[in-house]
Amino acid sequence: MFMRILLWFAALFSFLSTNAQLVKSAGMAKNVMMGIDLSPQVQLDTLQPMEHLFALGPVDDLQGEITVIAGQVFYSKAFGDSIVTGIQSDLKAPFLAFSHVEEFDTIPIDLDVTSLKDLESQLQRIRAEYDIADTVAFPFLLMAQDWQSLQIHIIMRDTAEEVHSHDAHKKAKVHFDFQNTSGTLLGFFSTQHEGVFTHKGQFIHVHFLDDENQITGHLDQIQHKGSVFLLLPKLLFRDKE
Protein backbone atom coordinates (compact mmCIF):
# COMPACT_ATOMS: atom_id res chain seq x y z
CA MET A 1 0.00 0.00 0.00
CA PHE A 2 2.78 2.40 0.95
CA MET A 3 4.64 1.64 -2.28
CA ARG A 4 1.49 2.29 -4.33
CA ILE A 5 1.02 5.69 -2.67
CA LEU A 6 4.69 6.51 -3.22
CA LEU A 7 4.43 5.65 -6.91
CA TRP A 8 1.28 7.76 -7.23
CA PHE A 9 3.03 10.79 -5.74
CA ALA A 10 6.04 10.21 -7.98
CA ALA A 11 3.79 10.12 -11.06
CA LEU A 12 1.96 13.25 -9.92
CA PHE A 13 5.22 15.10 -9.29
CA SER A 14 6.49 14.08 -12.73
CA PHE A 15 3.28 15.33 -14.38
CA LEU A 16 3.31 18.68 -12.56
CA SER A 17 7.03 19.19 -13.22
CA THR A 18 6.59 18.51 -16.93
CA ASN A 19 3.62 20.86 -17.22
CA ALA A 20 5.42 23.58 -15.27
CA GLN A 21 7.86 23.65 -18.18
CA LEU A 22 5.26 23.33 -20.94
CA VAL A 23 5.50 27.07 -21.59
CA LYS A 24 8.83 28.86 -21.42
CA SER A 25 9.80 32.46 -21.97
CA ALA A 26 12.77 34.57 -22.89
CA GLY A 27 13.00 38.17 -21.79
CA MET A 28 10.11 40.09 -20.23
CA ALA A 29 7.27 41.91 -21.98
CA LYS A 30 7.10 44.68 -19.39
CA ASN A 31 10.80 45.50 -19.83
CA VAL A 32 10.24 45.91 -23.56
CA MET A 33 7.00 47.90 -23.30
CA MET A 34 8.54 50.27 -20.74
CA GLY A 35 11.75 50.69 -22.76
CA ILE A 36 13.88 49.15 -20.01
CA ASP A 37 15.51 46.50 -22.19
CA LEU A 38 15.03 46.09 -25.96
CA SER A 39 18.04 43.85 -26.48
CA PRO A 40 17.52 40.49 -28.22
CA GLN A 41 16.98 37.69 -25.72
CA VAL A 42 16.62 34.66 -27.98
CA GLN A 43 17.25 33.51 -31.55
CA LEU A 44 14.44 31.35 -32.86
CA ASP A 45 16.48 28.64 -34.61
CA THR A 46 18.21 27.76 -31.32
CA LEU A 47 14.91 26.53 -29.84
CA GLN A 48 15.21 22.94 -31.00
CA PRO A 49 13.46 20.75 -31.99
CA MET A 50 12.06 23.32 -34.40
CA GLU A 51 9.36 21.04 -35.86
CA HIS A 52 7.50 21.09 -32.52
CA LEU A 53 7.98 24.80 -31.77
CA PHE A 54 5.06 27.18 -31.17
CA ALA A 55 5.96 30.75 -30.20
CA LEU A 56 5.05 34.40 -30.37
CA GLY A 57 6.59 37.77 -29.62
CA PRO A 58 7.97 40.88 -31.33
CA VAL A 59 10.82 40.99 -33.84
CA ASP A 60 14.20 42.29 -32.66
CA ASP A 61 14.28 46.10 -32.24
CA LEU A 62 10.46 46.02 -32.32
CA GLN A 63 10.42 45.83 -36.11
CA GLY A 64 7.44 43.52 -36.54
CA GLU A 65 5.74 40.49 -35.05
CA ILE A 66 6.75 36.83 -34.82
CA THR A 67 4.32 33.90 -34.96
CA VAL A 68 5.70 30.36 -34.97
CA ILE A 69 3.44 27.40 -35.76
CA ALA A 70 4.91 23.89 -35.96
CA GLY A 71 8.40 25.28 -36.51
CA GLN A 72 7.55 27.75 -39.28
CA VAL A 73 8.74 31.19 -38.18
CA PHE A 74 6.44 33.78 -39.71
CA TYR A 75 7.16 37.48 -39.35
CA SER A 76 5.14 40.53 -40.30
CA LYS A 77 6.09 44.15 -40.85
CA ALA A 78 3.82 47.12 -41.50
CA PHE A 79 4.51 49.76 -44.13
CA GLY A 80 1.68 52.27 -44.18
CA ASP A 81 -1.49 50.32 -44.86
CA SER A 82 0.40 47.28 -46.15
CA ILE A 83 1.53 44.15 -44.35
CA VAL A 84 4.63 42.30 -45.50
CA THR A 85 4.87 38.73 -44.19
CA GLY A 86 7.67 36.21 -44.65
CA ILE A 87 9.37 33.19 -43.14
CA GLN A 88 12.79 33.47 -41.46
CA SER A 89 13.99 30.93 -38.92
CA ASP A 90 16.93 32.90 -37.46
CA LEU A 91 14.94 35.90 -36.22
CA LYS A 92 15.71 37.29 -32.78
CA ALA A 93 13.23 38.61 -30.22
CA PRO A 94 13.44 40.86 -27.13
CA PHE A 95 10.84 38.65 -25.45
CA LEU A 96 9.16 35.43 -26.48
CA ALA A 97 6.63 32.92 -25.18
CA PHE A 98 7.27 29.46 -26.57
CA SER A 99 6.44 25.80 -26.19
CA HIS A 100 7.39 22.52 -27.81
CA VAL A 101 4.31 20.41 -28.49
CA GLU A 102 4.39 17.06 -30.28
CA GLU A 103 0.67 16.28 -30.19
CA PHE A 104 -2.57 18.20 -29.73
CA ASP A 105 -6.07 17.11 -28.82
CA THR A 106 -8.72 18.80 -30.99
CA ILE A 107 -11.90 19.92 -29.24
CA PRO A 108 -14.88 21.35 -31.19
CA ILE A 109 -16.38 24.23 -29.19
CA ASP A 110 -19.03 26.91 -29.68
CA LEU A 111 -17.40 30.29 -29.24
CA ASP A 112 -19.38 33.42 -28.43
CA VAL A 113 -17.07 36.36 -27.75
CA THR A 114 -17.18 40.11 -28.31
CA SER A 115 -13.82 41.00 -26.80
CA LEU A 116 -10.41 39.64 -25.90
CA LYS A 117 -11.58 39.51 -22.28
CA ASP A 118 -14.49 37.29 -23.34
CA LEU A 119 -12.02 34.95 -25.03
CA GLU A 120 -9.93 34.82 -21.86
CA SER A 121 -13.04 33.99 -19.80
CA GLN A 122 -14.01 31.25 -22.26
CA LEU A 123 -10.56 29.70 -21.88
CA GLN A 124 -10.83 29.99 -18.11
CA ARG A 125 -14.05 27.96 -18.23
CA ILE A 126 -12.50 25.36 -20.53
CA ARG A 127 -9.45 25.09 -18.27
CA ALA A 128 -11.72 24.41 -15.29
CA GLU A 129 -13.91 22.00 -17.27
CA TYR A 130 -10.91 19.87 -18.22
CA ASP A 131 -9.44 20.12 -14.73
CA ILE A 132 -6.27 21.91 -15.80
CA ALA A 133 -4.65 23.43 -12.71
CA ASP A 134 -4.82 27.23 -12.64
CA THR A 135 -1.05 27.35 -12.04
CA VAL A 136 -0.32 25.57 -15.34
CA ALA A 137 0.55 27.73 -18.34
CA PHE A 138 -0.30 26.26 -21.72
CA PRO A 139 -0.36 27.10 -25.43
CA PHE A 140 -3.55 26.79 -27.46
CA LEU A 141 -4.71 27.05 -31.05
CA LEU A 142 -8.13 28.18 -32.25
CA MET A 143 -9.07 27.53 -35.87
CA ALA A 144 -12.05 28.86 -37.83
CA GLN A 145 -12.99 29.24 -41.47
CA ASP A 146 -14.72 32.57 -40.92
CA TRP A 147 -13.61 34.76 -38.03
CA GLN A 148 -16.24 37.48 -38.01
CA SER A 149 -14.11 40.38 -36.78
CA LEU A 150 -10.47 40.60 -35.72
CA GLN A 151 -8.24 43.55 -34.89
CA ILE A 152 -4.49 43.03 -34.80
CA HIS A 153 -1.46 45.26 -34.47
CA ILE A 154 2.09 45.06 -35.73
CA ILE A 155 4.75 46.82 -33.70
CA MET A 156 7.01 49.09 -35.76
CA ARG A 157 9.23 51.17 -33.49
CA ASP A 158 10.55 54.47 -34.80
CA THR A 159 14.26 53.62 -34.99
CA ALA A 160 15.10 57.33 -34.78
CA GLU A 161 13.62 57.64 -31.28
CA GLU A 162 16.11 58.38 -28.53
CA VAL A 163 14.20 56.71 -25.71
CA HIS A 164 11.54 54.01 -25.88
CA SER A 165 8.71 54.40 -23.36
CA HIS A 166 5.25 53.03 -22.66
CA ASP A 167 3.66 55.89 -24.63
CA ALA A 168 6.10 55.40 -27.49
CA HIS A 169 5.30 51.69 -27.47
CA LYS A 170 1.59 52.40 -27.88
CA LYS A 171 2.26 54.82 -30.75
CA ALA A 172 4.46 52.25 -32.50
CA LYS A 173 1.52 49.85 -32.96
CA VAL A 174 0.06 49.81 -36.48
CA HIS A 175 -3.53 48.55 -36.35
CA PHE A 176 -5.43 46.49 -38.90
CA ASP A 177 -9.04 45.28 -38.96
CA PHE A 178 -10.30 42.15 -40.70
CA GLN A 179 -13.75 40.67 -41.22
CA ASN A 180 -14.79 37.19 -42.29
CA THR A 181 -11.21 35.92 -42.38
CA SER A 182 -10.11 32.29 -42.09
CA GLY A 183 -7.07 31.41 -40.05
CA THR A 184 -5.53 30.34 -36.76
CA LEU A 185 -5.18 32.01 -33.39
CA LEU A 186 -2.06 30.94 -31.49
CA GLY A 187 -2.11 31.89 -27.85
CA PHE A 188 -0.55 31.29 -24.47
CA PHE A 189 -2.65 31.16 -21.32
CA SER A 190 -1.21 31.77 -17.87
CA THR A 191 -2.32 33.25 -14.58
CA GLN A 192 1.32 33.42 -13.45
CA HIS A 193 3.08 35.43 -16.17
CA GLU A 194 1.67 38.96 -16.16
CA GLY A 195 4.43 41.25 -17.38
CA VAL A 196 6.46 38.27 -18.58
CA PHE A 197 4.55 37.36 -21.73
CA THR A 198 1.05 38.70 -21.01
CA HIS A 199 0.05 42.29 -20.34
CA LYS A 200 -0.79 43.43 -16.82
CA GLY A 201 -4.29 42.30 -15.91
CA GLN A 202 -4.42 39.75 -18.73
CA PHE A 203 -3.95 35.99 -18.78
CA ILE A 204 -3.63 35.48 -22.55
CA HIS A 205 -1.29 36.62 -25.31
CA VAL A 206 -2.59 35.79 -28.78
CA HIS A 207 -1.42 36.16 -32.39
CA PHE A 208 -3.36 35.60 -35.60
CA LEU A 209 -2.12 33.89 -38.78
CA ASP A 210 -4.42 33.72 -41.79
CA ASP A 211 -4.75 30.57 -43.90
CA GLU A 212 -2.80 32.14 -46.79
CA ASN A 213 0.14 33.02 -44.50
CA GLN A 214 -0.15 36.64 -45.65
CA ILE A 215 -1.31 38.23 -42.40
CA THR A 216 0.01 37.78 -38.89
CA GLY A 217 0.10 40.00 -35.84
CA HIS A 218 -0.85 40.52 -32.22
CA LEU A 219 -4.57 40.10 -31.52
CA ASP A 220 -6.16 43.14 -29.86
CA GLN A 221 -9.87 42.51 -30.33
CA ILE A 222 -12.14 39.70 -31.49
CA GLN A 223 -15.82 39.25 -32.21
CA HIS A 224 -17.08 35.83 -33.18
CA LYS A 225 -20.06 33.55 -32.67
CA GLY A 226 -19.96 30.03 -34.04
CA SER A 227 -18.20 26.68 -34.05
CA VAL A 228 -14.41 26.60 -33.91
CA PHE A 229 -11.73 24.01 -33.20
CA LEU A 230 -9.69 24.36 -30.02
CA LEU A 231 -6.35 22.53 -29.92
CA LEU A 232 -4.70 21.85 -26.57
CA PRO A 233 -1.47 19.94 -25.90
CA LYS A 234 -2.17 16.25 -25.41
CA LEU A 235 0.27 16.36 -22.49
CA LEU A 236 -2.33 18.27 -20.45
CA PHE A 237 -4.59 15.22 -20.48
CA ARG A 238 -1.94 12.57 -19.94
CA ASP A 239 -2.98 11.77 -16.38
CA LYS A 240 -6.67 11.53 -17.35
CA GLU A 241 -6.37 8.87 -20.07
Q: What is the pLDDT of residue 22?
A: 93
Average pLDDT over residues 155-169: 93
pLDDT-based confidence at residue 240 (cuts at 50, 70, 90):
low
pLDDT-based confidence at residue 194 (cuts at 50, 70, 90):
confident
What are φ and ψ of residue 92, in 5° steps? Answer: -115, 155
pLDDT digits 0-9 by tens, 54-104: 999 999 999 999 999 999 999 999 999 999 999 999 999 999 999 999 999
Query: Of 23, 62, 229, 21, whose CA–CA distance to 159 is shortest?
Result: 62
Lowest-pLDDT choice from 36-40, 63-67, 114-118, 130-134: 130-134
Q: What is the pLDDT of residue 237?
A: 82
What are φ and ψ of residue 58, in 5° steps? Answer: -90, 155
How far, CA to CA in Å, does 205 sit from each of 16, 79, 121, 212? 22, 24, 13, 22
Average pLDDT over residues 122-140: 93
Average pLDDT over residues 204-221: 97
Lowest-pLDDT choice from 3-17, 36-50, 98-112, 160-174: 3-17
Helix (H) or strand (E) holding 143: strand 138-155
Domains identified in the chain and CATH numbers: 2-240 (3.30.1330.80)
Average pLDDT over residues 122-130: 93
pTM (two decimals): 0.89
At 139, is the secondary structure helix, strand, or coil?
strand
Average pLDDT over residues 145-155: 97
The residues, ordered by sequence, that sit 6+ positions from 128 with a Cβ below 8 Å of its Cβ are: 134
DSSP-derived pairing of the beta strands 104-113 and 96-100: unpaired
